[in-house]
A and B are shown apart, each in its own frame.
Chain A
Amino acid sequence: METGPQEALGKERAQGPVPLPQTLLEELRAIVGAANCIHEPSELRTYESDGLATFRATPGVVVLPGTTEEVSRVVKATAKHGLPIVPRGAGTGLSGGALPVPGCVVVGLSRMRKVLEVNLEDGYLRVQPGVINLDVSKLLAPKGYYYAPDPSSQSVCTIGGNVAENSGGAHCLKYGFTVNHVLGLRMVLHDGSIVDLGGPVLDSPGYDLVGIVVGSEGMLGIVTEVVLKALRKPEATRTFFATFPSTKEAGDAVSAIIASGIVPAAIEMMDTLAIIAAKAATGLDWPEVGAALLMDVDGPLDEVEHTAEHAGNLARKAGCIELNVPKDEAERQLMWKGRKSAFAAVGRISRNYIVQDGTIPRSEIGAVLGEIAKLSAESGIRVANVFHAGDGNLHPLVLFDARVPGEEKRAEELAGEILRICLRLGGSITGEHGVGAEKAPYMAEMFSDDDLDTMAKLRCAFDPGQRFNPGKVFPTPRLCGDRPGLYRAHPTELSGQAERT
């Protein structure tokens, strides 16, 4: 098993296994087949965490259903035992959104990876949730179409996971997030019933439940089919890689470009440490300057020729040192590879690191980077900055060495301080990684109790027993208030995260 840099921390070792009722195990085996029912402790280890490996818990069982019908039967069988259910895609999430609850039933959707329908005339396709994000675009490429949301993990993450997290990516500046590209969903609800929400035809009467389920972090049900928008590829894309003495000039360039009325497809910033890391990972010969911008503009040819030239001039005016245009598509891909591998690349320059994700108003970029630099200097903890500059979505990588006593704690505090800066400026605690288990405590700093209570109403409407993915998003357990029948311990109580008073 490959271990990430965070693996070594062992901060929260897996809690001991909670036994699964034997009758449930037998039922689940009968539904999905013994081969798709993982129960061996050694095999369960794979499912103890998602991409946030510091949060771990052992599920009671992992089932891998192959059809919507099987998902429904799994949910019904589990409901009889009152056990929590944690849906899981590829497990690449960075916020612990797929963190199991001890003893729970994990429903992995990886076997449901069929493309069910492609209708380019009407601009959509219908897929199962286990389909890999990038495979959708690969499938559509020969016809000149693609699927827009492009999270950095797109070669491994699944559409189902994207739906749960409302995944973004570098190009959501112009094209929007998953929620802007999902037209409809089929999902299994808490009682095992199957519903269709939305669909290829827009504006189905009723509440926008598709808009709610996308980004609900697996807490409202299990999505088993997704209707996606298929977009025609733009005629042309122009890219530049521009270097700057510092993040200040790079930030000014971003502001000038946006203010000029250009909507870049993507505009990404990296600071010195991030550039060094990306170079180490890809072998690119990027200069080790104060900051770099990687920008894509796309659209009709003449339009992008104009906007690329105009944006380039604005970058020069803002103090750019050098502006490089890739000579061909291969070089362009390499530049993007450098950017997209930046997270993992940081592992080459630091033993351990925390990937932070927060959003600030774009105009505050310069000031915020200054504050982060100051915090970094004060604490002696290095921070590499890689981010989606166009929409103010920061990804500070907080670097530390867990072997040095106290460093991990200082790194965590620094990462937390960055989120507080985001909040102070009216931003968000997460731009695209989700709240999950990791940031649930910060929700109470971004939202009032009334705000959270209102969100909880929605959860209760979908899942009155709150058995889907408990312990995520909400900072404290909230009861739906009307559960009939016998008292059942809330999953967060079972896992020792909360207690009833």
Chain B
Amino acid sequence: MIWGVVPQEPQSIEEAQELLRAAYRDKQRLAFVGGGTRLGIGAPPKSVQLVIGTSKLSRILEYAPSDQVVVAESGVKLSQLQAELAKNGQRLALDPALPEKQTLGGIIASNAFGPLRARYGAVRDLIIGVSIVRADGVRAKGGGKVVKTVAGFDMPKLICGSLGTLGFIATAIFRVHPLPEATQTLVSHGLSAAEVNAAAAAMRAQQLEPSALLASRTAPGRFDLAVRFEGFARGLAQQVKKASAIGRLSPAGNEVWDAHQQLLAEGPVRVKVAALPTALAKVDAALPQGKLDFYPSLGLGFCAGDLTAQLIASARAALAFGSVVVEEAPSPLDSFGTAPAALDLHRAVKNRFDPQGLLAPGRFIGGI
């Protein structure tokens, strides 16, 4: 049961389209589910009568390694896609938690990401095409099969992070990247927030190009800093050597990333926090409880533990220019906090795509 309903699992996009058409005709409220790992984001959709799952939409439709482009149905699991791409020495440069469970559709709809975002951007930066089934059952596409296209509005970006409120994601097209030949992690222990910022600044000053940067809180005001370099073996050594002179960084194994991946899927309450990259001290003070991991080159972090509604509210007040979004909670909490100033515009977009308010009603910001 998802949101009180047993999901329907269409065998094809055409079947999914049929379900949407029927729901539209009967004014049934509906929601979508992929791997079901990120249902805690947003408010539970209100009185949903139909849930459509994508477990059977698991085909990789086209893959042209020489073009570094892949087309897949939305129910394809991230690990499944990565296994296929790896055969040609490539990957989708996205590393959110639970790749064996998360689907491409779910990753797109919920803007799931991991530490590689520091180098490759978010799903919005890697998706190049999408096809959706609209609330009225009409199938429409945007973007294309080439990385470089500016024809028409950028529909793929609109769908990223839309939590199923604009349409059912049928297929997606991504640009993929070569797998690195070599990888090396370095870790430094017991840094203050100021030292983390100084280390990140020093790496920029030295023109190092880490693929991931992570500060993990070990005690209030104390962090372990992890940095990962990737690339050709011949180039990696120089970067590792230069980094070793910064902030007591020394070579380490992958445990730090494994621990971080766990936090990305952990509860009982987990929030995503967004602030300026140098705001680690502020984030630390605003979210003093639970585990905290922060990407100091992006200003994004995750905090998991027994976080109360009150704590989350006060963290929002303290981080006025950022956001604290609930990703996981045993009982519903205010997911997004104060709605953005441009809420009317977001609402107008929703109303144009789903005028009857059938898709995941109430799940998004401002009750959209």
Contacts and interface: CB of A to CB of B under 8 A. Distances in A.
Contacts of A30: none
Interface string A148-188: 00000000000000000110100010001101100000000
Interface in B313-365: 321-323, 325, 336-337, 339-343, 345-346, 348-349, 351-353, 364-365
B210 to A, nearest CB: 10
A14 B202 CA distance: 57
Interface stretch (B45-53, B216-224, B272-280): B272-280
B346 A209 contact: yes
Contacts of A439: 151
Nearest to A166: B150
A472 B166 CA distance: 25
Contacts of B234: 302-303, 305-306
Interface string A179-211: 110000000010000011101111111111101
Given A201-B321, A263-B177, A460 B352 contact: yes
Interface stretch (A79-87, A103-111, A333-341, A428-436): A428-436
A208 B161 contact: yes
Contact of B146 (A207, A428, A433): A428
Interface stretch (A56-64, A231-239, A348-356): A231-239
A405 to B, nearest CB: 33
B150 A434 contact: yes
Contact of B323 (A205, A391, A426, A446): A205
Nearest to A121: B278
Contacts of A457: 352-353
Given A202-B300, A393-B148, A303 B232 contact: yes
B55 interface: no
B150 A451 contact: no
B121 A180 contact: yes
Contacts of A189: 345
B322 to A, nearest CB: 5
Given A303-B235, A392-B146, A428 B345 contact: no
B272 A450 contact: no
Contacts of A426: 144-146
B270 interface: no
A451 B154 contact: no
Given A203-B274, A261-B89, A454-B155, A176 B349 contact: no
B: interface residue count bin: 35 or more
Given A202-B274, A214-B154, 7 more contacts: A144-B205, A201-B275, A207-B161, A300-B239, A303-B232, A362-B68, A460-B352
20 contacts: A166-B150, A179-B157, A180-B125, A199-B321, A202-B300, A206-B342, A262-B178, A299-B209, A300-B209, A300-B239, A302-B237, A302-B239, A361-B67, A362-B68, A388-B148, A391-B146, A391-B148, A426-B146, A427-B149, A459-B153
Q: 6 closest pairs, A vs B, by CB? A: A303-B235, A211-B157, A428-B149, A261-B178, A235-B207, A302-B238
Interface of A: 121-123, 144, 165-166, 168, 172, 176-177, 179-180, 189, 195-197, 199-209, 211-212, 214-216, 232-235, 255, 258-259, 261-263, 299-307, 310, 359-363, 388, 391-393, 426-435, 439, 443, 446-448, 450-455, 457-462, 473
Interface of B: 64-69, 89, 111, 121-122, 124-125, 132, 134, 138-142, 144-155, 157-158, 160-162, 166, 177-181, 197, 201, 204-209, 231-232, 234-239, 272, 274-278, 297-300, 321-323, 325, 336-337, 339-343, 345-346, 348-349, 351-353, 364-365
